Structure 1
Amino acid sequence: MKKKKLLITTALIGTMAFGTTVSTTLAHDALGSDVNKGEERLVFSNDDLKTLSSSLLNGTKNVSNFHEAAAVQINELDGVQNNTADVYAHKGYAYLGTHTANGANGGVRVFDLKDPSNPVEVAIFANDIPHTWQEKVIVKSVNTPHFKGDLAAVSIQQTSRNHSNRPNSVGGVLLYDVSDPTAPKKLGFYELDRRITGTHELYLTTQGNRAIVLASSPYADYYTHGENEDFQIIDVSDPSSPEKLWGWDPRELEEIDNDFNGYHWNAPDGHTRPVFNHSVITDNNGQYAYVSMWDLGTVIFDIKDPENPKYLGRTEYRDDQKGAAHSAALARGGNILIETREVSNPVGDGYEDAYGYTRILDIKDKTNPVLLSEFTTELTFDIPETSQGRTTFAKTVHDPKVQGNTLYLSYYSGGVIMVDITNPSNPTEIGRYTPDEANVWGVFVDRNYILASDMGQGLKVLTRGHQGNNGKGR
């Protein structure tokens, strides 16, 4: 019998669940308004993991010889079993963010991957601000006049926004020196207005001897009545003194009314659509930013001059298609954009019936993204006939990563789905990794392994080479 270590609701596992009660009049897939509070997920201990069935792993082409080398839960912290969020790797170490189970403050967990079959947790950091969670971490080697080494930028979010009984809880971006990953050192904190939940996702990049963070702080505009922006660029060249360089307000676009309240957009198609910044990435050279603005699409900026970025263009949607631009990745030297759309409520008046799926676009002309294809799975249209249990994150795509001509998608209950995008107009599934009781939040691809973060189960490591169980995991 499987042991239920801890139950958490979909309200906690959904990307946009920020612990704030809001009006149910808000639009689809945002602010937690349409979350089915009754759906449950499990958080397992290391002992519990032993009771699970073997993971399923099948693949062809370049993913045919991967196997599950390790599956390990993060350590308890002061007797508390936290759950994982996103995953990143740098110089042979994995960095796992944590979510909200058991009160949050799980920090970032560092694993030594010297032996990928035996990942060893060697450090915890960024858990010092009370009543917060640390979902996203990016690590880069930087060399500025003020700092040389490996810098980690960590997103910080309040578990309960602007809580009067929690005056020391605040969101923003924490900066750490992880040149020695076993002994991270706190350098600085970019602190947000307490009315803002915090920074949900972020990206760290360099431009010559300058380091900058691109921060996504959803609903900052809405919560502060236009005083702050959802998308900000922060100079972290001196990590002890981060400085805002620029922020963006979508009101500058012709299609956005001047009385836009920071969230509700009266779109030209007649829908009132949600607009907020969920995520952001850059190309490898830090020249362009790709900002996931939910139903406004993926907005593209030229950021060569980070104090004066230039708006270039954005993706758009069919009138019957929920936007929900959640995350992005690039392929073909930045000429192909992968856009994942996290839709947890598959129905809606005037919209198609579908959970979130992936779009692939040609962006050689960044002022005019052109849709090439859409990638769906059997989960996309697996919608119950009745509303009971219909709203779920389990069947929507989440995050994309690309290596060469292979797209890796984290897919909650679907695990990690691998897609051949050699012909981006005809994406083809070539592999799938699905742990038992899967709830995969993040995926990261390095030269020698694939990492997956399962919210309930911790770190998964896939490496190349066959093992004697027909490729079926443990």
Structure 2
Amino acid sequence: MRIIRINKNRNFIIHVFLLFIVFCLLTNSGVLNLTAKISNPENDFYSINQFKDYTIESVGNFDDNGIPNDVFIDGDYAFVAFYGLGLRIIDISNPLDPTVVSVFKENIRAIECIYIANDIAYILDRLSGLVIVDVSNPLVPVSLGQFDYGVDIPTDVAIYGNYALVTDTGDGGMLRVINIEDPAEPYEVQFFEDVNPINLFVVDDYVYVANYSGGLAIFEMRNVFQPVPIGSYDTDQCLSVYVSDEIAYVTDDNDGLILINLTDHENPTYIAEYSTSSDPLDVAVSNNMTYIATTNGGLEIINVSIPTSPALEGTFDDGGYITKLAITNDHVFLCDEEDGIEIIDVSTPDTPTEVAEFIDGGYYDLDNVHSYYTYDVDADDNYAYIADGMDGLEIIDLTDPTTPVEISQYSADFTATDVFISGNYAYLCTIEDGLLIVDISVPASPSLVSQTNDSIHLAEKVIVNGDYAFVFSVDTSVTDSNITIFDISSPSTPLTLEVIDTDYTENIDFAINGNYLYIVKVVQLEIYDISDPSNPTQETTLNLSTFQDEANSFYISGTYAYIGASDGLHIYDLSNPLNPVHTGNVEHLAYDANDVFVFDDFAYILRQDDTYDWGLTAIYISDPTDPTIASEDNYMIEDMDSEDIFVTSDYIFVAYGEAGVEIVELVPESTGKFGINNPQIFIVISFNAIFILLLIGKRKSRKK
């Protein structure tokens, strides 16, 4: 009888052990999934091969490249819509010394326009639609609500009672009526298609719409559920409208300023016009003066005391590109795409004078060159180093990555396009001065060590390998390109060793692995032996078209090369440096992979899809023959170029053109598969389980 009981216990133990093995096999195979917060991607108890196990989350951003798209004055404060920077609230009680009192970014990064009514800001954002913010305390703005209506490009917003009137470019141009009685729950009550609205102005029960293709349109709003179009006045290309004392001041792309009589709303009539020096984008009226923001002519002040005879009173032009304006007392606030916010004293309209400038943005110049534009970023655990166009080299303190702070800048008359950090030096590519070598041993006080402007121009990329710098540059005619090799063993006196002609194409990138230089051009891979940097020799040229489409970016890590192409990410084994072998790829993740960076078990891709939206994708590459998408995220700003990516042990840094540098992290917080990946741990747990079960069985048998 005793023996029979032992056999029963043994059968019990065997059954439990078999169930344990089946459990482990099921969880590892993915048949059985358990939801768990993965605290460590290297943890042996978790499998991370599941599709999209990770999320990409924003940590912070540094951006001084925003465009002032709109400005609204309310009391002692100017509310500035900085595209890429969010909402800046500026104390203007002393116009000679404007001071930022708060910054609001929640749900707004691509802000277009703003309107303030009853201590509430109504903001139109390309990504978020209508964002409503309590600004009763300008020092602490608070989000109230949001209405995302799938906006294309918002153009203007105005308030009529409990309704926000919103215009955008969707479906031939939309005029929308949104109920804002409860700011936390706004909703749309009506819309008009094919209006093509650019600008709005509300007076009493009438809405005046600047229709780009149809001139001035007038709507009666007594019944907001059914606004009635009651009148119009045709102009060629209407850009903006301001109404005062039954006169509409309309700006037109071709005719300049047009004055229209509104005594009879159903039949508005022509009064007079004034031809501006360039495109008049915005207009405002105060004390018989009309203030017009022109693209190339600055601020033009027109005397309209006699409406039938408008005459030029004064001008202010410092060569900028003005898009919007606002007036308070004797000061005009200009949104200048180059210079940020300019404050102009117009107490004497015939001689307007600039009294202050708020430069927290602006990046365009009139030759369509991105002057203030983040091209590249390098980083370590403490600092980020930014190649920021005409702002030069900016050094950012990362002590608190949620609010990175600029601690220093090195700039002169050059445009920085790329940066590489090696030791105590920053190697900076510039358009005008070739390669600059900057001492950053004291990050708060960078200083120039040397430059190579006599040998290269239009430098676009630099890689430092030991005592040598490899610089890719394009000639001034943009018909040829080279990689110049410099001896930088003495940073104060860099020596040119050799120049490799790379035959310029738009799709070209390079990387270095050991004694070999790899240059990828469209679908060709050129391999050079650089064991003697003064005498590089081309070893072979490979055609990659069998494996991939056109290459856009290139990175080498260990014995593998990673190419971001128009059809995805491709991985090549470089164990034989002269005979790369295609090992795996992830297809159709990018229309245009601007950059690729590899860190640990992940390849990070800056990609653009076929709708020209930008995003960041993380690829799990622990098995180069079977790369899989670990996380895909589309939170990046649309219509802005992603230029470069750099990854440290903690964060991912994205150089994002007009939007500065975005700091994000890869977070393993999604559903993971509970399983045991390490066979040694599997064996230990198994034997421990058997031992415990045997003890339990033995004790039970003794009791019986």
Q: TM (normalized to structure 1)?
A: 0.51
Q: Which residue of 457, 482, 498 maps to 1:313? A: 498
CA drift of 1:293 comes to 2.1
Separation in structure 2 between the aligned mates of residue 191 and residue 77 of structure 1, nearest angstrom:
22
Match for residue 567 of structure 2 among 395, 414, 431: 414
Q: Which residue of 2 aligns with 1:80?
A: 109
In structure 1, the residue matched to 2:427 is: 214
Per the alignment, residue 437 of structure 2 pairs with 233
- Matched with 2:516 is 336
Contact 1:356-1:396 within 8 A present in 2 as well: yes
> Aligned to 1:293, what secondary structure does the other structure show?
strand
- Decide whether the 8 Å contact of 2:618 with 2:630 is kept in 1: no
Q: Deviations over 1:281-316 (max 9, x none)?
A: 112x4x211111243521111112110112222323
State the shift of 1:471 in Å: 4.9
Aligned residue number for residue 197 of structure 2: none
Q: Distance in 1 between matches of 2:506 and 2:454?
A: 16
Deviations 1:226-277 (A, max 9, x none): xxx12111112222222111111355xxxxxxxxxx7xxxxxxxxxxxx631
Would the alpha carbon gap of residues 325 and 442 (structure 1) be closer, same or farther in structure 2, given more than 3 Å must change?
closer
C-alpha displacement of 1:367: 0.9
What are the equivalent positions in structure 2 for 1:126-275 lying under 5 Å apart? 128-131=360-363, 132-141=372-381, 150-157=382-389, 170-193=390-413, 196=414, 198-206=415-423, 211-218=424-431, 220=432, 229-251=433-455
* CA-to-aligned-CA distance 1:361-406 (integer Å, 9 cap, x gap): 110011111112334433999xxxxxxxxxxxxx642332111210
Could you tell me which runs of 5 or more consecutive residues in structure 1 were left unpaired when the two chains were aligned.
1-64, 84-100, 106-126, 142-149, 158-169, 221-228, 252-261, 263-274, 342-354, 382-394
Query: Cα gap change, 1:370/1:432 in structure 2, threshold over 3 Å: closer, same or farther?
Result: same
Q: 1:139 to 1:398 in 2, by over 3 A?
A: same
Counterpart selection for 1:438 from 570, 575, 591:
591
CA RMSD of aligned residues (A): 3.7
Aligned residue in 2 for 1:399? 553
User: Which of residues 507, 523, 532 in structure 2 aligns to 1:365?
Assistant: 532
Letter in 2 for 1:414: D
1:356 Cα deviation after fit: 6.0
Structure 2 portions without partners, runs of 5+? 1-48, 61-83, 87-107, 112-125, 127-152, 155-322, 324-336, 338-358, 364-371, 475-479, 632-704
- Seen in structure 2, the aligned counterparts of structure 1 residues 464 and 370 have a Cα distance that, compared at 3 Å, is closer
For residues 338-371 of structure 1, give each alpha carbon's deviation from its aligned partner in whole angstroms, at most 9, with x where no partner exists: 2234xxxxxxxxxxxxx46432211001111111
Aligned CA distance change for structure 1 residues 326 and 174 (closer, same or farther; 3 Å):
farther
Contact 1:314–1:367 under 8 Å retained in 2: no
Q: Distance in 2 between matches of 1:437 and 1:324?
A: 17
Would the aligned equivalents of 2:621 and 2:628 in 1 still touch at CA under 8 Å? no
Q: 1:66 to 1:361 in 2, by over 3 A?
A: farther
In structure 1, give the amino acid aligned to 2:460: H
Give deviations 1:435-474, integer Å, cap 9, x for gaps. 44532211111122211122434221122579xx995778
Asked if structure 2 preserves the Cα contact closer than 8 Å seen for 1:408 and 1:443, the reply is yes
Letter in 1 for 2:376: K
Change (3 A) 1:128 1:242: farther
Query: In the alignment, is the contact (CA less than 8 A) between 1:291 and 1:299 conserved in 2?
Result: yes
Contact 1:327–1:399 at 8 Å: present in 2 too?
yes
Equivalent residues, number: 277
The amino acid across from 2:497 in the alignment is: L
User: For the structure 1 residues 130 and 241, does the alpha-carbon distance in structure 2 shift closer, same or farther, using more than 3 Å as the test?
Assistant: farther
Counterpart code for 1:293: S
Change (3 A) 1:329 1:136: same
Residue in structure 1 matching 2:600, options 412, 432, 447: 447
The reply on whether 1:427 has 2:580 as its aligned counterpart is yes
Percent of residue pairs bearing the same amino acid type: 20
Q: Rate the CA distance shift 1:247–1:293 in 2: closer, same or farther, 3 A.
A: same
Change in 2 beyond 3 A, CA 1:360/1:152: same
Partners of 2:539 and 2:497 in 1: CA distance: 19
2:518 aligned partner, one-letter code: I
Distance apart, 1:213 and its partner CA: 1.0
Q: 1:396 to 1:67 in 2, by over 3 A?
A: same
Distance in 2 between the 1:216 and 1:470 partners? 33
Seen in structure 2, the aligned counterparts of structure 1 residues 465 and 428 have a Cα distance that, compared at 3 Å, is closer
Which residue identity does 1:243 align to in structure 2?
A: S
Identify the residue that residue 458 of structure 1 maps to in structure 2: 615
C-alpha change, 1:68 and 1:430, in structure 2 (3 Å) is: farther
Question: Could you tell me how far apart the structure 2 residues matched to 1:66 and 1:202 are?
Answer: 36
CA distance in 1, matches of 2:605, 2:434: 28
Assess if the C-alpha contact under 8 Å between 1:356 and 1:380 holds in 2: no
* Distance in 1, Cα, partners of 2:360 & 2:547: 39
Task: Work out whether residues 619 and 629 of structure 2, in 8 Å CA contact, stay in contact via their aligned partners in 1.
Answer: no
- Maintained 8 Å contact 2:50/2:630: no
User: 2: CA distance between counterparts of 1:247 and 1:277?
Assistant: 12
Q: What one-letter code is carried by the residue in structure 1 that aligns with 2:495?
A: K
| Cα distance change, pair 204–325 in 1 and its aligned pair in 2 (3 A) | farther
Query: Do structure 1's residue 300 and structure 2's residue 485 form an aligned pair?
Result: yes
| RCO comparison, higher one (Cα < 8 Å, 6+) | 1
The equivalences for 1:19-168 within 5 A come to: 69-70=53-54, 78=86, 79-81=108-110, 128-131=360-363, 132-141=372-381, 150-157=382-389
Q: Give the direction of change, closer, same or farther, for the CA distance of 1:172–1:77 in structure 2 (3 Å limit).
A: closer
Q: Deviations over 1:107-148 (max 9, x none)?
A: xxxxxxxxxxxxxxxxxxxx954323223110125xxxxxxx
In structure 1, how many angstroms separate the alpha carbons of the residues matched to 2:577 and 2:50? 23
For 1:190, give the aligned amino acid: Y
CA gap 1:282/1:437 in 2 versus in 1, 3 angstroms: closer
What secondary structure is seen at the aligned counterpart in 2 of 1:297? strand
Q: Distance in 2 between matches of 1:453 and 1:276?
A: 23
Contact kept in structure 2, 1:280 and 1:327, CA below 8 Å: no
Secondary structure of 1:188's aligned partner: strand
In the superposition, relative to structure 1, how do residues 451 and 323 fare at CA in structure 2: closer, same or farther (>3 Å)? closer
Aligned match of 1:40? none
Change (3 A) 1:447 1:376: same
Q: Taking structure 2 as the reference length, what is the TM-score of the superposition? A: 0.35
More strand by share: 2
Query: d(CA) in 2 for partners of 1:314 and 1:244?
Result: 24
